[in-house]
A and B are shown apart, each in its own frame.
Chain A
Amino acid sequence: MLQLWLLPAALIVTAVLVSIPLSKYCAWIMEGQYRPLPGFGWIERKLDSGPQDWKQYTAALLIFNLLLFVWGYVVLAVQPIMPLNPRHLGMLAPTTIFNSVTSFMTNTNLQDYSGDVHFSNFSQIFFTISNQYISAAVGFCALVAMIRAFRGEQKVGNYFVDMWRVLIYMFVPAAILSGVLFMQQGMPMTFKSTIQVATLEPGAMGTDDKGVAKEQTIVFGPVAAAIPIKQIGTNGGGFFGANSAHPYENPSAWTNFITCFDMMMFPFTLVLMFGRMLRRVRHSIVIYGVMLTLMVGMIAWAIYFELKPNPGLTAHPASVTYKIPSATAKGGFRELTIPQVAGLPIDQHLGNLEGKEMRFGIVAAPTFAALTTAVTCGAVNCAHDSLNPLTGLSPMVGMWLNCVFGGKGVGMINILLFLIIGVFIAGQMVGRSPEYLGRKVGAREVKLAVIALLVHPLMILGTTGLFAATSWGTKAEFNPAAHGFSEVMYQFTSASANNGSGFEGLGDTWGFNDNPNPAPTSRQLDIAAGLVMLFSRYLPIVAPIAMAAFLGMKKEAPSGLGTMRDDSMTFYWLLLGTIVILGALMFLPVAALGPLADHWGPMPFGG
């Protein structure tokens, strides 16, 4: 039993303990109370374009992201003619480039390509690493602007200075520290691309036409530079196709622990930083508690179901007959019998091992799956497509709610949307005009919150419906029936939540532009997911900043006897209830069509 819960417990305790001092540090940096490193003060003054109001701040953010888009496009497009490309990799298909560029600039890191197959080290450094630093800082800055607006400040800071502070004083030092630990454990750090090795048993890889034993070609590169920021920035775009399941990207149980901790570090910290900067630490602890509750629930759910054996291989002793409503059958029902199935002789006491690695320990994979989607990282250390059907629900819920700590800043912003709506509902129930931070929440604020909140389900359900109903989706499905539907739904959920993990069986890879056999509907998937990522990234950043600004402009009323305290248990239950109820209303139907149908459906399913 100890083995089961030690890893997740240790992770959460470490992240909580670190977030307390780190939030103090972050607030100190963002308030500008530090003394810049020698020479860096000059850069800061060069970057500073003066205090900006919320509109100017948002404009600066969007303009900078426009440049980031161009930067990413150019770097990927010139891959064939750039250095550090000894394998002479060509250019990716234009739709794949569009998808990858939007994916990395929106902090999603959905990968319709494979890093080890399609990217040269030049692209890994100048596309992957640069985007992973910068896009993570963008969300961070948006949250900081929102906090300052909540404080009633007209000028919410300077975007360029904020970006500089986040990148230089937080991400770079944390990434270097992690990188050193990773290398000690076996992560490669070289600018070479491949190494050829003869296998110990000559010819085990097969022989070529002349009968000469084939060598094994091993791809590596500056992995230890890419992975720290991939995790710290909750990006999740892997150096290799297998992501954190790859032995070079995650060489041991220790790196797996640090990898998990890295992605939790800033999301945990930002909640407390919110409280410190608003001088409402108790309030932020309540929010922290709600997030922790949901996170523990998701981890426990994933572990419980993933420790069960893979149901496709076990016995199903009784044959089951279902009555299915049917328009054509007599009496309106037809019968479907699922015969009994004998189990295969496999010792599955470690749970479902398909798509898992041995070195991380038993519960590392489900823990990682729940964490990576809760904090919208999107790295994976096992094949999510092969998770047991109900385990797969845990990552989906994490992405649907998208506020259980969430990504850099964005998760915190999302929970504030739920919070405003929760406060509004509570106000309606007691017949008082709703308040938040001592200010009256008006129609305009609620409208903005609802717009930002509704983008997410609209993007997920709309695109999933379109693709599931047409050959665009069905042709891309790799696994049968309900699980195939889950693959499509997971893809768009992941895109909309800016997560980036996937049920990777889905045929979404075009690859190089001259690939003669691309996945048939990869072009449609590339473009649709790209657009979803753009909408679901920028609307829920712009609308909440506006909301915070409008709320901040209002007069702060002293709290009275009738004021609902935002640092109480009542508030905890209100927020938790709002999230659970709204989440269920939005996503329970697709959960029933996907993982739940998969679980209760016939197993295995024909073929």
Chain B
Amino acid sequence: MSRYFSKSFLLFLFVIPIICIIYPSVLWVIGQVFFPFQANGSIVNGPDGKPVGSLLIAQPFTKDEYFQPRPSAASYDASASAPSNLSASNYLLRDRVARALGPIVVYSDGPKKGQQIAPDIEAWFQQDKFGGQPHIVAQWDDAHNELATGWVSADPTHAAYVDDWTKKHPNEVSKWKKDNPGTPDPKAADLAVLFFETFSKDNPGKFPSAVSHQGADGKTVTAIEPVNQGSDIQSIFFDMWRQEHADAPLQDVPADMVMASGSGLDPHISLPNAEYQLDRISQKWASDTKRDPKQVRNEIEQMIEANACAPFGGLAGEKFVNVLELNLALRNKYGQPQ
């Protein structure tokens, strides 16, 4: 037996240098000599000559002048790749998708064809009736406790707003403590469900949202206030609106625009997704550069066409485009966005 130990040691001694030192070194030399761009991460430089990103790694874009990548469950953190892992049965998936859709979806037919549904969601929300019952926010809160809790934990200002409200509603809070003896000292997130229930009755047709005001000293102050319009209403309550308007003809959005990728770093979007964003992008660049919108649109459309490619030349999939490559081309052609 001891012979097998010594032979095992010997095997390690011979094999480890080969597979852990020689083998990677051989590949490293081949990579650095023949494929230096790829072997060093496919890094591209910006207009100022400094590296701005990798062609293979998605990075976020917020400005309307740029193509936006797919949603990322990893917040585009290229040191911690991750998918969302949400299953179809998880309401959080539907909620995330619906929130992305609300502000962008347009009617596909009928008298309002081509117009956004967002104003209609706001008008419907202000009436504060869902399924024939009053108080949309309270019903939302009741059906999706997890989302209500999630709203409170999402931002410190949200939690502070609930803490404020707790001070003003001692009766409700002490009743809650009586009903939940296990949590004698509830935090803001614990009270989320109760908070929205009373908020909805105190502020019919409103939802707490961040609003910016110009103060007397000229500084902008952002605070949480009850509002009856804006992006929170359009996104959070789109799914409920949809349930009451199941027959409204809406234009389909390309799936990869609202469904997150497997790595959170997918550098590509589908060709239909790029074309869907084309109007927004070309209008913005046209106004930035004060040029004819039609001409700008044509130019950008050609850039998309030139960039698009498909797996195995189209044999095994549909066309997609590289977001960073396109945005870099836009930046080089039109300059700094305003």
A binds B: yes
Q: Is A344's CB under 8 angstroms from B11's CB? A: no
B31 within 8 A of A: yes
Q: Is B85's CB under 8 angstroms from A385's CB? A: yes
Of chain B, the residue at the smallest CB distance from A245 is: B262
Top 8 A-B pairs, shortest CB-CB distance: A361-B317, A607-B91, A245-B262, A253-B311, A383-B83, A505-B85, A342-B246, A189-B31
B266 within 8 A of A: yes
Ordered by A's residue number, 24 sampled pairs between the chains whose C-beta atoms are within 8 Å are A6-B312, A6-B315, A126-B20, A130-B16, A163-B11, A164-B14, A164-B15, A167-B18, A183-B38, A190-B39, A191-B28, A198-B50, A200-B327, A241-B82, A242-B83, A312-B89, A356-B261, A357-B263, A382-B83, A386-B83, A483-B90, A603-B89, A604-B94, A607-B91
Residues of B within 8 A of A126 (CB): 16, 20
Q: Is A116's CB under 8 angstroms from B89's CB? A: no
Q: Is B26's CB under 8 angstroms from A183's CB? A: no
Residues of A within 8 A of B256 (CB): 350, 353, 358
CA distance A164 to B14 in the complex (A): 9
Considering only residues 493-517 of chain A, those with a C-beta below 8 Å from chain B are: 503-505
Of chain B, the residue at the smallest CB distance from A311 is: B88
Say how far B68's CB is from chain A's closest CB, in angstroms: 10
B183 within 8 A of A: no
With contact pairs A117-B79, A189-B27, A346-B255 given, residues A359 and B1 touching in the complex (Cβ less than 8 Å)? no
Residues of A within 8 A of B93 (CB): 310, 312-313, 354, 386, 604
A interface with B by C-beta (< 8 Å) = 2-3, 6-7, 43, 46-47, 49, 56, 59-60, 63-64, 67, 71, 114, 116-117, 125-126, 129-130, 133-134, 160, 163-164, 167-168, 172, 175-176, 179-180, 183-191, 194-195, 197-201, 204-205, 216-220, 222, 224-225, 229, 240-242, 245-248, 251-254, 309-313, 315, 340-350, 352-365, 380-383, 385-386, 388-389, 478-483, 503-505, 598, 601-607
With contact pairs A225-B27, A358-B269 given, residues A253 and B316 touching in the complex (Cβ less than 8 Å)? yes
Considering only residues 312-328 of chain B, those with a C-beta below 8 Å from chain A are: 312, 315-318, 320, 324, 327-328
Q: Is A183's CB under 8 angstroms from B31's CB? A: yes
> Which listed residue (A229, A242, A342) contacts B81, Cβ 8 A?
A242
Residues of A within 8 A of B250 (CB): 345
CA distance A116 to B78 in the complex (A): 9
Say how far B74's CB is from chain A's closest CB, in angstroms: 8
Residues of B within 8 A of A346 (CB): 97, 101, 252-255, 258-259
B199 within 8 A of A: no
Residues of A within 8 A of B9 (CB): 67
Say how far A227's CB is from chain B's closest CB, in angstroms: 10
CA distance A217 to B28 in the complex (A): 22
Say how far A483's CB is from chain B's closest CB, in angstroms: 4
With contact pairs A242-B262, A604-B91 given, residues A253 and B312 touching in the complex (Cβ less than 8 Å)? yes
Residues of A within 8 A of B255 (CB): 309, 346-350, 353
CA distance A49 to B265 in the complex (A): 50
Considering only residues 1-55 of chain B, those with a C-beta below 8 Å from chain A are: 1, 3-5, 7-12, 14-16, 18-20, 23-24, 26-28, 30-32, 34-35, 38-43, 46, 50-55
Q: Is A222's CB under 8 angstroms from B84's CB? A: no
Of chain B, the residue at the smallest CB distance from A359 is: B268
Q: Is A605's CB under 8 angstroms from B89's CB? A: yes
Interface segment out of the listed B59-67, B202-210, B298-306 = B59-67
Q: Is A216's CB under 8 angstroms from B53's CB? A: yes
With contact pairs A199-B59, A201-B62, A358-B269 given, residues A478 and B79 touching in the complex (Cβ less than 8 Å)? no
CA distance A32 to B331 in the complex (A): 62
With contact pairs A125-B24, A191-B28, A604-B93 given, residues A116 and B80 touching in the complex (Cβ less than 8 Å)? yes
CA distance A320 to B72 in the complex (A): 34
Say how far A315's CB is from chain B's closest CB, in angstroms: 7
CA distance A352 to B261 in the complex (A): 11
> Which listed residue (A189, A216, A385, A389) contacts B78, Cβ 8 A?
A216
Say how far A64's CB is from chain B's closest CB, in angstroms: 4
Say how far A58's CB is from chain B's closest CB, in angstroms: 11
The interface size of chain B toward A, counting residues with CB under 8 Å, comes to 116
Say how far A165's CB is from chain B's closest CB, in angstroms: 12
Residues of B within 8 A of A389 (CB): 87-89
Considering only residues 226-256 of chain B, those with a C-beta below 8 Å from chain A are: 239, 242-243, 245-246, 250-256
Q: Is A197's CB under 8 angstroms from B54's CB? A: yes
CA distance A607 to B95 in the complex (A): 9
Say how far B124's CB is from chain A's closest CB, in angstroms: 14
> Which listed residue (A2, A184, A358) contacts B268, Cβ 8 A?
A358
Q: Is B57's CB under 8 angstroms from A362's CB? A: no
Residues of A within 8 A of B46 (CB): 198, 200
Of chain A, the residue at the smallest CB distance from B252 is: A347
Say how far B35's CB is from chain A's closest CB, in angstroms: 5
Residues of A within 8 A of B258 (CB): 346
> Which listed residue (B11, B79, B101) contacts A217, Cβ 8 A?
B79
Residues of B within 8 A of A386 (CB): 83-88, 93
Point out which of A43, A354, A388, A504 has the most chain B C-beta atoms below 10 A from its C-beta: A354
> Which listed residue (A59, A217, A601) contacts B89, Cβ 8 A?
A601
B260 within 8 A of A: yes
Considering only residues 254-282 of chain B, those with a C-beta below 8 Å from chain A are: 254-256, 258-270, 272
With contact pairs A197-B52, A355-B262 given, residues A59 and B1 touching in the complex (Cβ less than 8 Å)? yes
Residues of A within 8 A of B94 (CB): 312-313, 344, 604
